[in-house]
Amino acid sequence: MRKVLALVLLWGLALPAAAADKFDPDARAKAIAPFLDDQTFGIGYVDVMRLNVDKLAAAIGEIGKINPDEMDKPKKEAAAWLAAFTKAGGKEIFAVISMREFPSEPYFVVPLADNANEEALGKLLAPNPGVKSAVIGKALVIGAESVLDRLRDMKPSERPELAKAFSAPGDTTAQFVLLPSDDNRKVVEQLLPTLPKEVGGGATKPFTRGISWAAIGVNGPPKISAKLVVQAPDAAAAKDLQTAITDLSKAVSENKDFQNNLPGFDQLAKALMPEVKDDQLLLTVDDKAFKNLVGPLVVKSRESAVRMQSMNNLKQMGLAMHNYHSTYEKFPPAYSADKDGKPLLSWRVHILPYIEQEALYKEFHLDEPWDSEHNKKLIARMPKVYQSSKALPESLGVTTYLTPRAKETVFPGKDAIGIKDITDGTSNTILIVDADDDHAVIWTKPEDLKIDPKKPEVGLANRNGNGFLVEMCDGAVRMLSNKISAKTLWAAFTRAGGEVLGSDF
């Protein structure tokens, strides 16, 4: 299901129109009409037959500044999925967003050709137990069972403006149509009569009453272009809507949080300001403008996604540490050791049973070092939760999730430390860090990040330019500012130093 959703969200990077099929917005509207009700407010569309995985991957890599090697695996997966989809007779996909299910995932509709293999399409589009597929009318519908039951008995809501909305951006391979109903408008106005103060606090009515419908269509790569058309009830409403958008953009540009997370948003807002023409707002973006404007947003979004994934990984490891502590009344030692004190295997091996990897754990020879002939064979099977850096391929079996190593920390070496030993407080003491790529280690190796009290920041990953991700002993994931003082950071690494953390923590 996520792959399908990703395709719909990446509709803007589809290939230019092929000459095989004539653009027919009426047919497009007719195909999806039986699955729309009075709560439907958004419809996505992708002509899958016109997607080219190689050019799509190249464009994403260029815009997002992604290493080609990193694109190789998802590119192969996407190519295999598209090949299977078209072989099963699939040609196009609609995604429908309704207030009845919002904010959960949209449901998907695939019009069925005469030669379509419904079973094969269902397996491709509904691989998870919670997602079902069923033939309803002349289409395969994919969604939750409750959605399918509703659609089987639903009386469609007439949307005569839909064909015009599909037509407005022209013959584009992918489109998204915003189609608010009167009920949608009333709900928004009742729940949100004014915008949040962070974005200006203006009234929402210029938006709810100024948009009859809106449609965006995108073509490319290799040349990417986009066209936006917003239909207002009349010329006066169109001008009011443009004014509201201008005020909103100005407020967002002046908001410090937006400035930090989206630098250059003011230039972006100006470049994307639609022009008023009679009762419509129009905006066309060519290839150069698209890449210049969207590129920084894609990079920022990707950084945010990587950060969120790293935070989730740290949370899983922190939970595993606490579950280990519940069993043994101590956190795992930094490494296990033989009778002579020689390090054998990292803590990352010993928490495997607590990250749903007990089968892998049982394959290790626990009385042998990490680089024994047997244990070395297991390095390549590193769990995904330890995959910490996109610059370090999973196949290398290396990770940057390390424990802080010093006699004053929670991980002094082969000796295990319990919560009762953390007298500085679990919320004030660091458990795990995300180190930089230069300090990555083989995940099974009994090696971590040695902390220098004078320069405790050395080795920490400042991946987003704002700070360092750490997992605290109470299970909280924190982003510590890169401006934190050495004194405060060292105090956070020690478990029983008695220091008072500075205000910069």
The CA distance from 410 to 344, in Å, is 19
pLDDT-derived band at 259, boundaries 50, 70, 90: low
- The answer, yes or no, to whether residue 265 has pLDDT greater than 70, is no
CB count in 10 Å sphere of residue 17: 16
Paired tokens of 440 = 């990555």
For residue 155, what are the CA distances in angstroms to 94, 101, 189, 234?
Answer: 19, 17, 26, 30
Q: What is the pLDDT of residue 195?
A: 87
Phi (first) and psi of residue 117, to 5 degrees: -95, 95
Query: What is residue 349's three-state secondary structure?
Result: helix
Query: What is residue 58's three-state secondary structure?
Result: helix
The CA distance from 81 to 310, in Å, is 27
Helix (H) or strand (E) holding 46: strand 40-47
The CA distance from 470 to 457, in Å, is 12
Q: What is the pLDDT of residues 454-484, one digit of tens each?
A: 999 999 988 766 788 999 999 999 999 888 9
- The answer, yes or no, to whether residue 5 has pLDDT greater than 50, is no
For residue 49, what are the CA distances in angstroms to 16, 87, 107, 133, 138?
Answer: 11, 11, 20, 21, 19
Per DSSP, 173 falls in state: S
User: How, if at all, do strands 343-346 and 335-337 pair?
Assistant: antiparallel
% of the chain residues with pLDDT over 70: 91
The CA distance from 489 to 129, in Å, is 46
Averaged over 63-86, what is the pLDDT? 81
Closest CA to 195 of 204, 186, 182, 183: 204
pLDDT-derived band at 391, boundaries 50, 70, 90: low
Closest CA to 46 of 99, 103, 111: 111
Cβ(252)–Cβ(305) below 8 Å? no
Helices (H) and strands (E) in the chain, counts: 16, 20
The CA distance from 331 to 416, in Å, is 6
pLDDT-derived band at 14, boundaries 50, 70, 90: very low
The CA distance from 45 to 390, in Å, is 31
Q: Which residue has the higher pLDDT, 41 or 67?
A: 41
Closest CA to 15 of 44, 45, 47: 47
- The answer, yes or no, to whether residue 16 has pLDDT greater than 60, is no
The CA distance from 437 to 478, in Å, is 20
Averaged over 172-200, what is the pLDDT? 88
pTM of the shown model: 0.65
